[in-house]
Structure 1
Amino acid sequence: MWWVVALLVSCPLLAQQGTVVGVVRDTAGIPLSGVSIRVEPLGVGTVSRPGGEFRLELPAGSYRLEARLLGYEPGRVTVRVEAGKTQRVALRLRQRVISLQEVRVLGRQPVQLPEDTRPSLIAVEPRQVKYRAGAVEDVLRTLQALPGVLAVSDFSSQLVIRGSTPDQNLILIDGFEVFNPYRLYGLVSMYNPETVADIQLLTGGFPAQYGDRLSAVLDVTNRSGDRERPLRAHVAASIVNANTVLEGRLPFWEGSWLVSSRRTYYDLIAGPIVRALKLVEGDVALPNFGDLQLKLTLSPHRQHTVSFLTIANRDNTELTAGPERPRPDSISLFDESYNVLVGATWLWQPRPGVSARLLLSAYSNHGTSSFGGEGGSELVLGREDPTLEEFRRLRDSLQRRGLEVPQLFRVEGAGGFAFRRYGALWEATWEASPRQTLQWGIGVDWIRNELRLRLEIDPRLKALQASNPNIPRLPESYTVSVEYPRVGVYVQDRIRLTSALTLLPGLRWDYFGFLRRGVVSPRFSLSYALWSTTTLRAAWGLYFQSPGYEKLLDRQLFLDFTHPRARGLKPEAASHVVLGIERRFSPEWLLRLEGYSKRFWNLIVQERLPGTVWVTSLTPGEDPRKPESWTPPVPVPGDSLTVIPVNGATGEAYGVELLLQKFFTPELPVYGWVSYSLAWAYRQQNGIRYPFSYDRRHVVNLVLGWRISSRLELNVTWTYGTGFPWTEPLGIKPRIVVEQDSSGNPRARIDTDWRGVSFVVDRGGLENLNRGRLPDYHRLDLRVTTYTTWFGKQWSLYLDVVNLYNRANILAITYRVNPETLAIEPNPIRMLPILPTFGVTVQL
């Protein structure tokens, strides 16, 4: 019935409207996508698609179209629209040097077309990445302040989106998939804020174009080099890193080039300090990374554009604890990893309304590591922050008395990995009519994974692990090498039934060679323009994700996919239902309300098998500190985790998100957004339903920028979130160490030290998982930027303060048993304290 109503409402509008079809190119004739097209005096607009094309449905009359894109001079054209007719226009934009003091584009997001059916789409202006307070000029950290997006912690740039794990996000750069977009163990991402041109995040309900992920899509596009000048330089430096960008035009094929390089120097600054304090010995390389990016863009023919992208980076850490360190705990670590991406894109536009592109790529993420050390001094000694000198005095005292000397927990290990992907993707778009656009594509990837691991774990540490059945397991030795194909085919059809109603049905087929299974994913979305400034959007779809070793890094979970029982695995699956409404009150104000519901099934987890646990009981009335007060350990049935992967979990996530956004205008130079999210996320295993590890009920984000004057800018970010779930202790129990006797049979004993029985904290089983909550999280970040001109060059200087009021946010809580009182003492692990940084940027 509602279809009939929609048709009746829209028929009078059709008779009074006309169509404007256009294309935006630069002076070299290369199409420009992401160009903001504004219609004056209506105040509405659109954005050019890949290929530079755009379409507008406007009432009859005369209008001026204005095209704007960062790095280009505005283009304008006047057009007269006649009812029922189509007018064609062409715009040319001239490239120019961007002034550091120019802020007219700050806070201005591209307008999402009413006929764009994608809900949950958030497009971020690259300049917001650079100036958002507390984001350390990082793309992923900027996205963590958007509705529906959570940060794992202050130390990670991973994205948790609408109740899904980080491995369930598809990460793209220039259309190429990357497995590991993180640097410095997740502290920052691979995206260079100085070279990013477009950032689009789909937090749910994404179309059939994207596959092999359950949750969200992040699609980032790097810009091309400056085509107007032979050479242009941009240098930025802060107290932690340096960033250099060189770019210019090529003397042939209307081409351009861009080279960027980044390097952190934590190791150069902090390395001598920690050596002087004798915290480490020998050569040391604190966590550091360097990367190099190259992009070439060529237009050998008016219908053809070719681009080449290369990204290479290296992460490195080397350190060994020195003999004069303040604590008894020690570590020796070597870790080195590389990310290399080589890609080529060919865009072909034989005629208006028809385009195709071919993407070829090779990607490698590989590395090696070795580590060793001793730890657990607080658990062994039973008090907070023991010093190395205290430990030595205790050891000497016990030796003189002939008592057993306590030993710290020792762990050693080594490993390596290599995740490689070779891919080809062909996509085509055909505008069959003014009201119908077909898009289809086929992608083929060949994936090769290699992994090796060796661990030597202290038996007492194994006992601690065995005392908590919810701790994920690791093998002590593992080597694997697998390779397999992955194929994806999709088709989607954008249909404008009326000027107000647009449908996007789509169908996707994926073949996962790792599982030797194919799956079909239907998708559907629609948009309905209630008024010219108000759009309703909805989406439904099925989504599948294949397992793979390359996804385990994001999950921080080990699974043995070579186990015979893994042959029957099914791909993980989810369904999305999204409904939202968006209203643009004026060119500077936007309000969006969106609700979502997600269901998960066939989630892959470590199998929980019936096994044996060892228990002991206290003799009534006896001193629990004495070993003889406890009965000998006996085996009883109990569950334990294994590394065997099974489709053993389901889940659900649902919520409501509200976003109010203010765009920059000269009249009111304040921009940013405020958002609120109300969300629930759960998982279920073995018939037990429990909160998802990142279930955060309430989240408020306030992100504001204020252009105080032409020389001064202020940015503020404030985030509040209720606490993540946490597993609280139920009590204490003796630590039971299981060893093998001379016949190879297991033998259990109660672990003791010079004080008597050693105790561990009892966390319970699955029924107690995530039943508690960490304290609420909130943090205020501040950034002040000033602009000036020195020696004829444009400069900007900034001060960025993370956690301005020094809130002690809690990452986790460890527990130890007081050996005197046998009370459980919590030890909160805090996240970032107040942290000021400063930096400078200059354009040469």
Structure 2
Amino acid sequence: MRVVLGCLLGAVLLASAPGAAAQAWGEIAGRVTEATTGDGVAGATVLITGTSYGRNAGADGRYAFRIPEGTYPVQVSFVGYATVRDTVVVRRGETTAFDAVLAQTDQALGEVAVEAGAERGVGVSRIDPRTVRDLPTPVTDAIRSVKVELGVTSSNELSNAYSVRGGSYDENQIFIDGFEVYRPLRISQGEQEGLGLINGDLASRLTLFAGGFPVRYGGKLASVLDATYAPPGGPVTGTAYSSTLDAGAAVQGAVGGGVGVAVAARSARPQRFFAGQELDGAYDPDYRDVQGVAQARLSDAHALRLLGLYARHRFRLAPQQRETTFGIFPNLVRTVAVDFEGVEEDGYGIGFGGALLASRLSDAVAAEHRLSVFSTDEFETYDISSRTSIFRRQQAPDRPQDDLDRIIEGQATQADVADNEISQTVYTAQGRYLARLGRHGLEAGWQARALRFGDDISERTTLTGRGRDGGTVTATSREIVGGESLASWQGALWVEDALALGRLTVTPGLRADYFGYNDELTLSPRLGLVYASGPQTTLSASAGVYHQAPTYRELRGDPAPADTALRPLNGDITSPRAVQAVVGLEHFFTSRRVALRAEAYAKRFSDLISYDTENVRVVYSAENDSEGYAVGADVQLRGELVPGLESWVNYGFLVTRERFYAPDLDGLSAAEAERAAARFEARGGGDWVRRPTDRRHNLSLFVQDYVPGDDTWTLHIRTLLGSGVPVTAPARDEDRSSGIAVEFDGASIFTDGRRNAVSLPAYFRFDLGATKELRLGTAPTGAPLLLRATVEVLNVFDQKNTVAYSWVEQVEEGRRQFTAVPTRLTPRTLNVRFRVAF
């Protein structure tokens, strides 16, 4: 720890060394008022675009903040009002007056797309893209910034996957400019996942819907993350950054003829970050992507926007050795040592292209039409052999307390071979129509989607140990070879109305979805309510029905250990259904400049497709085998400890349970019926059991502050703390009540033990960053040329978090034994980052 703090202090001294130009300061002050009444708009945000300078208006709409001299683009915004943009000139020692008048808006046609007014309602979190830049994270990733938002939990800093209010990783939808994008299908470890597809340097707005989201987004059971990329145009501006783990750049501007273009590229090679784990080996991650936005004004009524994305992610690992010591000191300590030979290579390529035509049909009517194609190709190959040794650690007499003898308890050899590929292509066409008729804000839309999947799998796992007669025994615990394909289509229609009744806004909506593969039609009614009881207090609620059409992986499921071929796709499966209700309160304390937000929710699930989470891979049962519920509450305090820098703390309480349907034993043989009944008993026997995402308590914190006396220095702290989620341990061989049979001359057949009866340890992470901002001069556009130098200490307290258990299998005298070995995440890491904005 002393070394890390010394490095941090050294970087601080370096950044503040002589030669850094001293900044001369001025002030911006004014009042934000409402256009129709002239009243001050309490809580309105006044922000210098692309910087951390700004603050919220007070109770009377007045504001003031200091800033270095220069020419700046400024924007003023508040929920339900059109954003005001302008340019201000700040001079040394002077106060520049800047007043803004905000007009209410429900829907407006922007430069390219029909943009809904600022989303209001329960479960909605608006994320400032600057937060992506300031969060101390291993790589600059917009999706990772979601992990500190209300209702979100995460237990893996290597992954950009997250859970929202008890939902799985696959129950979240992600949109860029209204186009849906998808996570890879076969990723199993966080190291393999790479960068999320949203580029924060292009985004102007990120909105998270943690419940009660509008009907246009479909029916995922957990959340929606919607990113809006800024319309490119005007003078050429850009940013570039580099760190010891990643790098990137973005540039945008007008190219003439009413056409604007933005291009951004990223690259991450975080070998050093991954290599700090307990698994020693040659890590070679290589994540790259490039994205572009182009827009053109075709006429006064029509605009065209094009979006393109290509990502190439590769992960190669030659594991060498892993040694994990765990247990209770001094007498219940074990060490598992594994020696490896071989190589693992995984990767995927993503191509995406979308076109959006936005049209203003009249002053009150607008439309947008989208066409897109999303394609992924993934591969997973490995040929690895390992020798596992389990040692009992015993305290040695007459030696130091930490000197423990290693007494071997068993050894086994395992060989894993795989050559898997999977591809998906999704074609989507969509229309959306908006109209303002009196107090009604009407929306209607349609969507047609074609889906294609191809899946080839070939993998085998064998174990070698000592048999009953003392000889060598080899058991095949998993072997599967096969292929599968799917081609189908989906269609949807929806209608929604935002009816303004004074301070109350009522938003009823209805969505109809059809899935051709299982010939299923679903109807999803929804209702949202927002009541502004005063300028600082808002009450909101939503209720609705959500149907999540089964994905390819839910249709296919994962093969059981005894299977030797892919099971046929389940054509009888239906969409899991959720009835959800959420209520919320938001109050802004103008005197303390702090907002309190509290929400409570309840979800009732039916026809669930049960799943287990193995690290970051979700493994499905491929059948509607259970029902469930989730109830909980989230509380957030959010405000500015210092002007212009927002901080917040979240606490969430969650209980989520599932109950399995009794199996249909008709037509099964006696042995099959016995195994099915035993499996049902292990899964609760009809009683409620914990779902894989059942995290009772979750705390997240993000704090920003200036160094006293020098507001060119900014400190950032991010903390995540959550209680342990449940996992399922394998059943023991001798547990015949679980229907286990072991045969070493063929496939080894075994079942899980009691479902989710074991919990992972609590997850705790504390990340710290310090940033020095220097003005290097003035860019050709007149904007200040700024350098931000950041030092980050990731996992400051070197917490050894566990993301999963690896169940080490041993064959001893013909019996299989399992030992739970924790799979631990990254240790403390120092990262240095530089960013230039022009």
Say yes or no: TM over 0.5: yes
Q: Is the contact between residue 75 and residue 92 of structure 1 (CA under 8 Å) also seen in structure 2?
A: yes
1:725 Cα deviation after fit: 2.0
Map of 1:308 onto structure 2: 306
Relative to structure 1, is the Cα distance of residues 207 and 475 closer, same or farther in structure 2, using a 3 angstrom cutoff?
A: farther
1:42 Cα deviation after fit: 2.3
Map of 1:251 onto structure 2: 256
In 1, Cα distance between equivalents of 2:701 and 2:413: 46
Instruction: Map 1:141-180; keep pairs closer than 5 Å.
Output: 141-180=144-183
Equivalent of 1:779 in 757, 765, 773 = 765
Q: Which moved more, 1:719-728 or 1:156-165?
A: 719-728
Instruction: Map 1:387-536; keep pairs closer than 5 Å.
Output: 408-433=413-438, 435-458=439-462, 476-496=480-500, 498-536=501-539
Q: What's the CA shift string for 1:198-226, capped at 9, x where partnerless?
A: 1000001112112141111110112233x
Instruction: Map 1:111-150; keep pairs closer than 5 Å.
Output: 118-134=121-137, 136-150=139-153
Alignment gaps of 5+ in structure 1: 1-35, 49-61, 78-88, 99-109, 385-404, 464-472, 608-641, 741-745, 750-761
Establish whether residue 360 from structure 1 lines up as the match of residue 361 from structure 2: no
Relative to structure 1, is the Cα distance of residues 650 and 37 closer, same or farther in structure 2, using a 3 angstrom cutoff?
A: farther
Relative to structure 1, is the Cα distance of residues 736 and 375 closer, same or farther in structure 2, using a 3 angstrom cutoff?
A: farther
Q: What's the CA shift string for 1:540-574, capped at 9, x where partnerless?
A: 11001111226789999999999568222111111
1:787 Cα deviation after fit: 0.9
Map of 2:639 onto structure 1: 662
Map of 2:111 onto structure 1: none
Instruction: Map 1:42-81; keep pairs closer than 5 Å.
Output: 42-44=40-42, 73-74=73-74
1:836 Cα deviation after fit: 1.4
Q: Is the contact between residue 653 and residue 681 of structure 1 (CA under 8 Å) also seen in structure 2?
A: yes
Map of 1:295 onto structure 2: 293
Relative to structure 1, is the Cα distance of residues 500 and 322 closer, same or farther in structure 2, using a 3 angstrom cutoff?
A: closer
Q: Is the contact between residue 347 and residue 357 of structure 1 (CA under 8 Å) also seen in structure 2?
A: yes
1:149 Cα deviation after fit: 0.6
Map of 2:329 onto structure 1: none
Establish whether residue 224 from structure 1 lines up as the match of residue 236 from structure 2: no
In 2, Cα distance between equivalents of 1:251 and 1:782: 43
Establish whether residue 646 from structure 1 lines up as the match of residue 623 from structure 2: yes
Structure 1 or 2, whichever has the larger Rg, is: 1
Map of 1:370 onto structure 2: 381
Map of 2:696 onto structure 1: 697
1:457 Cα deviation after fit: 2.2
Q: What's the CA shift string for 1:118-171, capped at 9, x where partnerless?
A: 310000100011102346432222211122111142322111011111111111
In 1, Cα distance between equivalents of 2:119 and 2:321: 63
* Equivalent residue letter for 2:172: N
1:606 Cα deviation after fit: 7.5
1:437 Cα deviation after fit: 1.1
In 1, Cα distance between equivalents of 2:250 and 2:713: 24
Map of 1:833 onto structure 2: 827
Equivalent of 1:541 in 539, 544, 549 = 544
In 1, Cα distance between equivalents of 2:146 and 2:648: 12
Establish whether residue 186 from structure 1 lines up as the match of residue 193 from structure 2: yes
Map of 1:346 onto structure 2: 357
Q: Is the contact between residue 350 and residue 375 of structure 2 (CA under 8 Å) also seen in structure 1?
A: yes
Q: Is the contact between residue 561 and residue 645 of structure 1 (CA under 8 Å) also seen in structure 2?
A: no
Map of 2:713 onto structure 1: 712
Establish whether residue 595 from structure 1 lines up as the match of residue 604 from structure 2: no
Instruction: Map 1:614-693; keep pairs closer than 5 Å.
Output: 645-663=622-640, 666=643, 670-686=645-661, 687-693=686-692
Relative to structure 1, is the Cα distance of residues 65 and 515 closer, same or farther in structure 2, using a 3 angstrom cutoff?
A: farther
In 1, Cα distance between equivalents of 2:86 and 2:585: 36
Q: Is the contact between residue 809 and residue 817 of structure 2 (CA under 8 Å) also seen in structure 1?
A: yes
Q: What's the CA shift string for 1:796-818, capped at 9, x where partnerless?
A: 11011111111222223446699
1:644 Cα deviation after fit: 6.6
Relative to structure 1, is the Cα distance of residues 151 and 63 closer, same or farther in structure 2, using a 3 angstrom cutoff?
A: closer
Relative to structure 1, is the Cα distance of residues 800 and 426 closer, same or farther in structure 2, using a 3 angstrom cutoff?
A: same
* Equivalent residue letter for 1:603: L
Alignment gaps of 5+ in structure 2: 1-31, 47-59, 65-70, 91-102, 107-116, 324-336, 395-409, 468-476, 613-618, 662-685, 779-784
Q: Which moved more, 1:298-307 or 1:511-520?
A: 298-307
In 2, Cα distance between equivalents of 1:843 and 1:90: 26
In 2, Cα distance between equivalents of 1:570 and 1:723: 31
What is the TM-score with the length of structure 1 in the denominator?
A: 0.71
Map of 2:239 onto structure 1: 234
Q: Is the contact between residue 38 and residue 45 of structure 1 (CA under 8 Å) also seen in structure 2?
A: no
| Secondary structure at the counterpart of residue 361 of structure 2 | strand
Equivalent of 2:756 in 770, 774, 784 = 770
Relative to structure 1, is the Cα distance of residues 579 and 811 closer, same or farther in structure 2, using a 3 angstrom cutoff?
A: same
Q: What's the CA shift string for 1:319-345, capped at 9, x where partnerless?
A: 546799996322322323101110111
Q: What's the CA shift string for 1:10-50, capped at 9, x where partnerless?
A: xxxxxxxxxxxxxxxxxxxxxxxxxx9867752247899xx
1:825 Cα deviation after fit: 6.4
Q: Is the contact between residue 259 and residue 294 of structure 1 (CA under 8 Å) also seen in structure 2?
A: yes
Q: What's the CA shift string for 1:90-141, capped at 9, x where partnerless?
A: 987458999xxxxxxxxxxx99999965310000100011102346432222
* Equivalent residue letter for 1:828: P
Q: Is the contact between residue 707 and residue 713 of structure 1 (CA under 8 Å) also seen in structure 2?
A: yes
Identity %: 23
* Equivalent residue letter for 1:577: A
Relative to structure 1, is the Cα distance of residues 553 and 518 closer, same or farther in structure 2, using a 3 angstrom cutoff?
A: closer
Relative to structure 1, is the Cα distance of residues 557 and 358 closer, same or farther in structure 2, using a 3 angstrom cutoff?
A: farther
Q: What's the CA shift string for 1:629-683, capped at 9, x where partnerless?
A: xxxxxxxxxxxxx9872100111111011111104763xx552111111111112
Q: Is the contact between residue 38 and residue 44 of structure 1 (CA under 8 Å) also seen in structure 2?
A: no
Q: What's the CA shift string for 1:164-215, capped at 9, x where partnerless?
A: 1111111111111111179953354122222221100000111211214111
What is the TM-score with the length of structure 2 in the denominator?
A: 0.71
